């Protein structure tokens, strides 16, 4: 760590800089303070104009939270549970699957022919149109049929000496990460249609645990692969080489050596993914309607339901915020070990 | 060293399959739908209109308004986030007193649900019961119509974006600052370079690659903005603060105009790609000079 940048400054400008940061901190802290205080207000404490200090300006009460718990403003308890279950499982699956892929990208060599990728895309598109228009399959059926055919053809084509560039590990990584660039609305809407058509075939995905979790896993994977690759790259390869000399199989090297060595990274990645899923709004809006509704949807609904009942709105917002506040505390400890350093290179 | 072992397929395929299934499926689906005239309510059978949806979208003033609004929010918010974030990161890097406490506090906003943040913002910006207008009237200023006037509403959304996402820039820039080599600064010190000169001569150019990456990430993410606007203004007043994602949501989920919405999301995708490619092309000469 280095302390340059301000060493040449006089003590006066140092004070100025400190004041500036302090101002930014106040700006950051005030809305948080505001929501915490408002959650303990009684209706007169809100309607009579802004009040700031408990016991001086207004008498605090726990009523908003009791209302929440009793489900007066929607099924908070169950929604909280939904968010927890979906968040935990999506983050766990994404971290596990993504870490495996990231490890493969760091330690093994992959070669994908550009032509094979093209074949996959064209066959998937063409097969879908063909099955849908000429053979009279429904749209999801056509997609589900075209997908494995295109995939099999592409894997076979990858063995042929096709012309065109050969893509390596870096390109595969780029493909993963570029999935993040997509505007989610493109996917969310199409996924909604696809899910509802699959639902008509008898397998319900809309407003279901599987549908929501699957979608979140897919959307967290790019971040997980990106973050985990840097952790794995930082692990000294000598340990693994020593194990290989002893003929330890690759999967045991991964589970027995690599995973324990990068536990910190896995934990941090898990938490970042959890935060992402916990706060996600758009997909939950499209893909759930009652049973598996998540907290952001319920919180957003508070606004229109009863107007300016701020004490209740604040309590609701606080329920969605507090778990992430705890996580921020945990994460900030890990940040010091240079967690995100590699991620931005 | 790269190994070659058939087990590598077991490692990579689950991730590839999930991402392929969830991203390529919908892509093909909405790509083909975008050439159809297809409504669910009232139900009319799909009819091929080729580029018809795209043409009518490009003639629709509401679409251009959404593009303009989204661009304004993204560029102004990210620009200010970068300036504030870099400044705070520099200060934290210089070990000002209380730096550790600041770090936790500064990390918080970006981990909170945008929906909840927007609700809090609604309370703070409330014209009669909110603390902000009370502060203004304390200084003898008139109460402002924060969320009911188009320009003010846009400014409020930008303010919330800055509040929530500056921490991300601070975090990344701080991580970058800590990798800078110390000896360059020692040399500059010997030459009696002022702090100002040191910043523009050393820190800024050396931080350029990281800055470019961070701004790029934030810009792309900002273009997707939806939840904050959804809760704060719902796109209103009128359509003054309607962003692209919100527009697509209204068309798709309220009117179930499938072909139109699919075309809209593809135009959105094209717009993002153009912005991304232009941005990288503009920056490339600056980044390569340093290598």
CB atoms within 10 A of CB A336: 10
Rounded Cα distance, A197 and A64, in Å: 41
What does the pLDDT read at residue A11? 74
Which range among A35-49, A194-208, B6-20 shows the weakest confidence by mean pLDDT? Answer: A35-49
Rounded Cα distance, B215 and A18, in Å: 25
Residues of A in contact with B84 (CB under 8 A): 24
Place of tokens 């990231």: A102
Q: Does A293 touch chain B (CB under 8 A)?
A: no
Q: Which residue would you say has higher pLDDT here, A96 or A112?
A: A96
Of all residues in chain B, the one with the smallest CA distance to A325 is: B108
Pair A227, A273: CB distance under 8 Å: no
Pair B112, B176: CB distance under 8 Å: no
> In B6-149, where does DSSP find H-type helix?
8-19, 25-33, 52-58, 61-93, 99-107, 114-124, 131-138
pLDDT digits (tens, 9 = 90+) for A160-191: 887 878 888 888 888 888 887 778 888 888 88
Rounded Cα distance, A317 and A309, in Å: 12
What does the pLDDT read at residue A342? 44
Q: Do B113 and A281 make contact, defined as CB atoms within 8 angstroms? A: yes
Residue B257's DSSP bridge partners are B39
Q: Do B119 and A313 make contact, defined as CB atoms within 8 angstroms? A: yes
Q: Do A183 and B107 make contact, defined as CB atoms within 8 angstroms? A: no
Mean pLDDT of B233-249: 87
Least CB–CB distance from A181: residue in B16, B26, B276? B276
Q: Which residue would you say has higher pLDDT here, B1 or A219?
A: A219
List Cα–Cα distances, B127 to A145, A279, B145, B165, in angstroms: 57, 28, 6, 25
ipTM value, please give it. 0.85
| A214 closest CA partner among B290, B20, B78 | B20
B178 CA: distance to closest CA in chain A (Å) = 5
Least CB–CB distance from A217: residue in B18, B119, B193? B18
Q: Do B131 and A34 make contact, defined as CB atoms within 8 angstroms? A: yes
Q: Which of B156-193 are b and which e, b meaning 16 or more Cβ less than 10 Å from the residue's Cβ? A: bbbbbbbbbbbbbbbbbbbbbbeebeeeebeebeeeeb
Least CB–CB distance from B19: residue in A179, A251, A335? A179
Q: How confident is the model at residue A5 (pLDDT cuts 50, 70, 90)?
A: very low
Q: Does A183 touch chain B (CB under 8 A)?
A: yes
For A113, list phi and psi in degrees, rounded to 5: -80, 140
Rounded Cα distance, A197 and A26, in Å: 50
Specify the DSSP class assigned to residue B130. S
Of all residues in chain A, the one with the smallest CA distance to B48 is: A133
What does the pLDDT read at residue B20? 87
A82 CA: distance to closest CA in chain B (Å) = 16
What does the pLDDT read at residue B193? 81
Strands (E), B127-234: none
Q: Do B28 and A194 make contact, defined as CB atoms within 8 angstroms? A: no
Pair A295, A79: CB distance under 8 Å: yes
Q: Which residue would you say has higher pLDDT here, B132 or A274?
A: A274
Strands (E), A31-163: 112-113
Q: Do B116 and A108 make contact, defined as CB atoms within 8 angstroms? A: no
Task: Assess whether pLDDT exceeds 50 at residue A1.
Answer: no
Task: Assess whether pLDDT exceeds 70 at residue B9.
Answer: yes
Q: Which of A224-238, A242-256, B140-154, B158-172: highest mean pLDDT? A: B158-172
Q: How confident is the model at residue A63 (pLDDT cuts 50, 70, 90)?
A: confident
Residue ranges of domains in chain A, CATH in brackets: 31-110+168-338 (1.10.3720.10), 111-167 (no CATH)
Residue A54's DSSP bridge partners are A58
Residues of A in contact with B213 (CB under 8 A): 344
Rounded Cα distance, B210 and A237, in Å: 27
Q: What angle do CA B178, B183, B188 make, to 5 degrees?
A: 105
Pair B35, B262: CB distance under 8 Å: no
Residues of A in contact with B26 (CB under 8 A): 186-187, 189-191, 194
Q: How confident is the model at residue B184 (pLDDT cuts 50, 70, 90)?
A: confident
Residues of B in contact with A103 (CB under 8 A): 11
Q: Do B15 and A98 make contact, defined as CB atoms within 8 angstroms? A: yes
Q: How confident is the model at residue A4 (pLDDT cuts 50, 70, 90)?
A: very low
Percent of chain B with pLDDT over 70: 95
Q: How confident is the model at residue A99 (pLDDT cuts 50, 70, 90)?
A: very high
Structure tokens at A54: 């408990």
Quote the mean pLDDT of chain A: 82
CB atoms within 10 A of CB B68: 10
Which range among B12-26, B127-141, B192-206, B217-231 shows the weakest confidence by mean pLDDT? Answer: B127-141
Q: Which residue would you say has higher pLDDT here, A66 or B84?
A: B84
Mean pLDDT of A295-316: 78
CATH (residue range B35-289): 1.10.3720.10
Interface with chain A: mutation pick from B48, B119, B233, B247, highest number of A CBs within 10 Å: B119
CB atoms within 10 A of CB A124: 24
| A35 closest CA partner among B234, B137, B128, B118 | B118
Q: Which residue would you say has higher pLDDT here, B179 or A79?
A: A79
State the SS3 of B211-268: HHHHHHHHHHHHHCCCHHHHHHCCCCCCCCCCCHHHHHHHHHHHCCEHHHHHHHHHHH
Q: What angle do CA A240, A244, A245 make, to 5 degrees?
A: 120
Q: Which residues lie below 8 Å from residue A286, measured CB to CB, with a gap of 6+?
A: A188, A189, A191, A192, B253
Of all residues in chain B, the one with the smallest CA distance to A274 is: B111
Contacts of the segment B42-49: beta carbons below 8 A, 24+ positions apart: B46/B259, B49/B259
Where along chain B do its domains lie? 35-289
Task: Assess whether pLDDT exceeds 80 at residue A238.
Answer: yes
| B110 closest CA partner among B222, B197, B238 | B222
**What residues of chain A, 302 to 331, have a C-beta less than 8 Å from chain B?**
302-303, 308, 310, 313-314, 316-318, 320-321, 324-325, 327-329, 331
A-B contacts (CB, under 8 Å): 337
Least CB–CB distance from A31: residue in B25, B107, B120? B120
Q: Do A187 and B214 make contact, defined as CB atoms within 8 angstroms? A: no
For A54, list phi and psi in degrees, rounded to 5: -60, 150
Q: How confident is the model at residue A303 (pLDDT cuts 50, 70, 90)?
A: low
Mean pLDDT of B261-272: 88
Pair B11, A101: CB distance under 8 Å: yes
B264 CA: distance to closest CA in chain A (Å) = 9
Q: Do B115 and A299 make contact, defined as CB atoms within 8 angstroms? A: yes
Residue B39's DSSP bridge partners are B44, B257
Q: How confident is the model at residue A7 (pLDDT cuts 50, 70, 90)?
A: low
Q: Which of B262-277 are b and which e, b meaning 16 or more Cβ less than 10 Å from the residue's Cβ? A: bbbbbbbbebbeebbe
Task: Assess whether pLDDT exceeds 70 at residue A304.
Answer: no
pTM of the entire structure? 0.87
Q: Does A232 touch chain B (CB under 8 A)?
A: no
Q: Which stretch of DSSP H or E encloses residue A96?
A: helix A76-107
Of all residues in chain A, the one with the smallest CA distance to B5 is: A108
pLDDT digits (tens, 9 = 90+) for B46-90: 788 888 889 988 998 999 999 999 999 999 999 999 999 999 888
Mean pLDDT of A53-76: 74
Q: Which of B91-105, B160-174, B186-200: highest mean pLDDT? A: B160-174
Which range among A105-119, B28-42, B87-101 shows the weakest confidence by mean pLDDT? Answer: B87-101
What does the pLDDT read at residue A3? 44
What does the pLDDT read at residue A221? 93
Pair A183, B224: CB distance under 8 Å: yes
Strands B36-39 and B44-48: antiparallel
Q: Do A344 and B172 make contact, defined as CB atoms within 8 angstroms? A: yes
Q: Do B122 and A303 make contact, defined as CB atoms within 8 angstroms? A: yes
């Amino acid at each position: 760590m280095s302390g340059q940048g301000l060493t040449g400054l006089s003590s006066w400008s140092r004070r100025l800089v400190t004041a500036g940061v302090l101002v930014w901190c106040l700006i950051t802290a005030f809305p948080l303070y505001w929501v915490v205080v408002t959650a303990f207000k009684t209706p007169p404490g809100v309607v009579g104009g802004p009040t700031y200090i408990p016991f001086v300006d207004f008498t605090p009460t726990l009523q908003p939270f009791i209302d929440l718990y009793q489900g007066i403003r929607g099924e908070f308890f169950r929604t909280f549970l939904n968010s927890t279950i979906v968040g935990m499982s999506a983050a766990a699956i994404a971290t596990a699957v993504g870490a495996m892929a990231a490890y493969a990208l760091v330690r093994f060599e992959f070669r994908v022919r550009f032509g094979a990728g093209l074949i996959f895309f064209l066959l998937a598109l063409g097969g879908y149109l063909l099955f849908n228009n000429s053979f009279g399959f429904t749209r999801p059926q056509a997609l589900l049929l075209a997908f494995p055919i295109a995939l099999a053809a592409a894997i076979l084509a990858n063995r042929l000496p096709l012309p065109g560039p050969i893509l390596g590990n870096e390109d595969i990584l780029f493909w993963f990460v570029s999935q993040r660039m997509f505007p989610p609305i493109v996917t969310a809407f199409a996924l909604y249609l696809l899910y509802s058509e699959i639902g008509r075939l008898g397998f319900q995905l809309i407003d279901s645990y599987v549908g929501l979790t699957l979608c979140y896993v897919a959307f967290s994977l790019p971040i997980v692969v990106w973050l985990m690759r840097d952790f794995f790259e930082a692990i000294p390869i000598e340990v693994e080489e020593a194990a290989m000399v002893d003929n330890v199989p690759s999967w045991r090297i991964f589970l027995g050596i690599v995973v324990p060595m990068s536990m910190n990274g896995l934990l941090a990645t898990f938490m970042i993914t959890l935060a992402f899923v916990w706060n996600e709004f758009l997909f939950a809006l499209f893909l759930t309607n009652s049973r598996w509704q998540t907290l952001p949807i319920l919180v957003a609904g508070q606004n229109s339901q009863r107007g300016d009942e701020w004490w209740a709105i604040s309590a609701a917002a606080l329920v969605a915020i507090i778990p992430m506040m705890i996580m921020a505390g945990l994460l900030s400890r890990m940040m010091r070990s240079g967690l995100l350093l590699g991620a931005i290179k | 060293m790269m190994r070659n072992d058939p087990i590598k397929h077991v490692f990579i395929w689950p991730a590839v399959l999930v991402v392929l299934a969830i991203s390529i499926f919908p892509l093909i689906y909405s790509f083909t739908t975008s050439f159809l005239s297809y409504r669910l309510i009232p139900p009319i059978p799909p009819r091929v209109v080729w580029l018809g949806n795209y043409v009518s979208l490009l003639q629709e003033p509401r679409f251009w308004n959404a593009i303009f609004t989204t661009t304004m929010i993204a560029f102004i918010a990210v620009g200010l986030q970068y300036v504030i974030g870099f400044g705070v990161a520099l200060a934290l890097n210089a070990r000002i007193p209380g730096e550790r406490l600041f770090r936790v506090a500064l990390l918080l906003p970006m981990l909170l649900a945008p929906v909840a943040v927007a609700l809090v913002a609604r309370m703070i910006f409330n014209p009669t019961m909110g603390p902000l207008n009370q502060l203004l009237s304390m200084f003898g200023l008139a109460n402002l119509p924060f969320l009911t006037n188009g320009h003010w509403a846009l400014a409020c959304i930008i303010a919330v974006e800055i509040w929530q996402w500056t921490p991300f820039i601070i975090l990344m820039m701080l991580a970058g600052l800590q990798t800078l080599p110390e000896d360059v600064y020692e040399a500059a010190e010997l030459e009696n370079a002022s702090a100002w000169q040191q910043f523009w001569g050393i820190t800024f150019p050396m931080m350029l690659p990281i800055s470019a990456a961070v701004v790029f990430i934030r810009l792309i993410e900002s273009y997707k903005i939806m939840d904050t606007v959804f809760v704060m203004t719902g796109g209103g007043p009128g359509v003054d603060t309607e962003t692209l994602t919100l527009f697509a949501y209204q068309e798709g989920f309220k009117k179930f105009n499938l072909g139109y919405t699919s075309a809209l999301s593809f135009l959105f995708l094209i717009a993002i790609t153009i912005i991304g490619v232009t941005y990288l092309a503009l920056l490339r000469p600056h980044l390569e000079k340093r290598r």
